[in-house]
Amino acid sequence: MDDGATRKITIGTLGVVALAAALVTAGSSEARETRTDELATPSSTSGTEGSGAVMSAADLESALDARRTAEQEQAADRRADAEARAAAARAAEEAEAAEARARAEAEAAAKAEAKAKAEAEREARLAEITLGEQGEHVARMQERLRQLGYQVTSADGVYGGETWQAVVAFQKVAGLGRDGVVGPATQKALDNGVVPVSRYGGTGIEVDLGRQVLLVVENGTVTRTFNASSGNGESYEALGAQYVANTPSGSYTVYRQVDGMRESSLDLGSLYRPKYFTGGIAVHGSPSIPAYPASHGCIRVSNTAMDWIWSWGAAIGTPVHVY
């Protein structure tokens, strides 16, 4: 063995030898005290029992190993505890970060949805055609109404009163809201070419009370469709008598007509170019044709529509079917 190795062994055991020497010294002192006691007090035991307090080098090494093992275990426990706390802290941070990301993603999704909804509403508004608008898009819509037989005199690109009447008549036939606004639903129905069908065939006039439209029929085909307003079913008083604003259903014929303005015999207002088909009930022009029943019993159409009906004919004897 070389000198370096010898020095390492010597240095490594110095602590053990020193500790052993201290214990031997303590043991010797105890032995001397015991021997003195034994001299003072006779005993049957041998004086060599005091030597049992001396710890051998092997026992000392074993005790030191046990101490080192205990310290190592304590250090390992401290490291494990520290690692567990660090892992818990990391997990909490990750959970908080994940929650923050989820909140941010939810907020971003909500903002995106709101933006998409606003954009869709804006596009829908831009796609709507309303009363008073002008332009090529209005002219295209007017031309389509003309193709389908809804009364528009000319596709002039101006959304005026006559075009409004045609749009409302179309919406009634298509079963849409009767607001005169050409939105996506109305445009789709226009593209699909929704038209009414004659119930009676032949040639004449049909009034559909349910949909509030007047149809001009030639040889079983509807050639013109007009917005109309019939009796509202309400009670009213005229010249001291009570009446109900009812439009009777049935099949009639035109039996009287006045080519001009006529005042109602019940003081109910003026009738433009009326064509009577039963009693005092007539198809006549009026400046007010709402999208719902509003008359005292007659069939109101616009003055422009009444002019067209006169130009078409509807002479005395023309069938008028009301249903």
Please give the positions annotated as active site. Answer: 284, 298
Q: Could you tell me if 159 and 180 are in contact, meaning their C-beta atoms sit under 8 angstroms apart?
A: no
Closest residue by Cα to residue 204 from 286, 295, 323, 296: 323
d(CA 17, CA 30): 20
C-alpha neighbours within 13 Å on the C-beta side of residue 146: 13
In Å, how far are 24, 173, 206 from 197, measured between CA atoms?
Answer: 128, 10, 10
CB 236, CB 245: distance < 8 Å: yes
Which helix (H) or strand (E) segment is 15 a member of?
helix 3-40
Nearest to 203 by CA among 89, 77, 26, 321: 321
The type of residue at 191 is D
The SS3 of residue 105 is helix
Residue 171 has phi, psi (to 5 degrees) of -60, -35
Most distant CA pair in the chain, distance: 164
> 19: helix, coil or strand?
helix
